[in-house]
Structure 1
Amino acid sequence: MALVELGRYPPPEAHIVIGRLAAEGIAAIAFDAGSSIVEGSIAALIPVRVMLDEDDLLIAREALNTA
């Protein structure tokens, strides 16, 4: 299993994307989400990387495009 980046999103949107993928049975994880705690009020400027198994990348993109 190798992780690949699906995309970079503002923190709230990243968690919505992860939830949408979970509803489709696709496991995903947020990388850099903890940066918001360290950076304080500028957290919204730090994108969160949504990562998933490379075998799920195409189906994840399709699931998000049909949402």
Structure 2
Amino acid sequence: MALVELARFYNSFEAGLARSRLASEGIESFIFDMEMSWDGMGILIPIRLMVDDEDRDEAAGLLID
């Protein structure tokens, strides 16, 4: 399994929503850098949604809908 970045988010709610959408279709995903975005300190590091490279096209299509 090789993980690739599917999307970037700047808040945890949107990242979790996207991950839930993928899970509802049976696509496993992982959230990276959830705790790295410190908005109160002015440091914004995007939260990355990662999927298996074999699932990328299908997962991207689901998030567009």
Which bracket does the TM-score occupy, shorter chain normalised? 0.7 to 0.9
TM-score normalised to structure 2 length: 0.83
Name 1:6's counterpart in structure 2.
Answer: 6
Name 1:45's counterpart in structure 2.
Answer: 44
Name 1:34's counterpart in structure 2.
Answer: 35
Name the aligned partner's letter for residue 25 of structure 1: G
Q: What 5-or-longer segments of structure 1 have no aligned partner?
A: none
Root-mean-square deviation (CA), in Å? 1.9
Alpha-carbon contact 1:35-1:43 (below 8 Å) kept: no
Q: 1:56 and 1:45, CA in 2 relative to 1: closer, same or farther beyond 3 A?
A: same
Deviation, 1:48, is: 0.2
State how far apart, in whole Å, the 2-side matches of 1:5 and 1:21 are: 14
- The answer to which structure has the higher helix fraction is 1
Deviation, 1:34, is: 1.6
TM-score normalised to structure 1 length: 0.81
